Amino acid sequence: MGVSFDKLDGVIWFDGKLVPWQEANVHVLTHGLHYASCVFEGERAYDGTVFRSTEHSLRLKASANILDFEIPYSVAEIDAAKQLVVDRNDLPNAYLRPVAWRGSEMLGVAASNNFIHLAIAAWDWPSYFDPAVKLRGIRMDLADYRRPDPRTAPALAKASGLYMICTISKHRAERKGYTDAMMLDWEGRVAECTAANIFFAQDGKLHTPIADCFLPGITRATVIELAGRRGIEVVERRIMPEELAGFSECFITGTAAEVTPVAEIAQWRFKPGAICEVLMTDFAAEVQPKGRQAAA
């Protein structure tokens, strides 16, 4: 087990100013802790530049709006704060966590006048999965919990409360020797993993679930764009679990996972192949500032 996150060194951007890492604290009676009025982003910086920073900032603001609060900083200010955190902590290749939440002025279900806080931290975080395991494909379980009906939860917000069932599902999977778990939606269709979107390959095409009850990831959008440049058709559609036997390749995408091959989901088996390999390579090039400039 590594150093506890509250004991790391560096500075965190907190409500408009940089503060020492261990002083970036909130009160135990904060509304965001008790009632999950909290939204966040997961981002990466590569070679000193935050990848698709503005898209993440826009999504952070949108998530807050879905939870009925307004972050008191513009997208440009959030972008600048993230870059400042990367620069001041001297972390050219880092994971970033912007997080916004309701404060402690009122502790009840209704708290419309609570102060809205925003903090941004960054730390060194290499591959989400063990590199040796990642190359041969990770093993995943099938989660018991399902993504909720979007009529019952703010499914398109990156909200902390929505990750409760993800943590439970990942823990259960890890106890059984798996790396992660695939989740179905409320109607039993393939949805996503605990913190990543999912793609399948069949006959030279990619298939991925329609993102209407889970977050359509920014890495997901990047991979769809990269596939288009290669002439690989991407079909967004409803996918039933029994279809998994007919797919040859599978991979997941996310800021933390990047592009990670999958070898196994419960009883279904896949073999990382050419499509997965080329998209991993293309994504690695895309996230570098030079690669982004060439694409533009």
Q: Catalytic positions, please?
A: 158
Question: Could you tell me whether strands 205-209 and 234-237 are parallel, antiparallel, or unpaired per DSSP bridges?
Answer: parallel
Using DSSP's 3-state secondary structure scheme, residue 84 falls into helix
Residue written as token pair 């409320």: 186
Task: Report whether 250 contacts 198 (CB < 8 A).
Answer: yes
Q: Which two tokens stand for residue 112?
A: 């419309």
Q: Which of 12, 37, 41 is nearest to 114 (CA)?
A: 37
Task: Report whether 199 contacts 244 (CB < 8 A).
Answer: no
Rounded Cα–Cα distance for residues 230 and 237 (Å): 20
Task: Report whether 261 contacts 138 (CB < 8 A).
Answer: yes
Rounded Cα–Cα distance for residues 144 and 197 (Å): 17
Question: Which helix or strand (DSSP H or E) is residue 260 part of?
Answer: strand 258-265
Return the number of other C-beta atoms located less than 10 Å from residue 6's C-beta: 9
Q: What is the dihedral of CA 286, 290, 292, 293, to 10 degrees?
A: -150
What is Dmax (Cα atoms) for the chain? 57
Question: Could you tell me whether strands 138-142 and 180-184 are parallel, antiparallel, or unpaired per DSSP bridges?
Answer: parallel
Question: Which helix or strand (DSSP H or E) is residue 294 part of?
Answer: helix 289-295
Q: Which two tokens stand for residue 35?
A: 């009632």
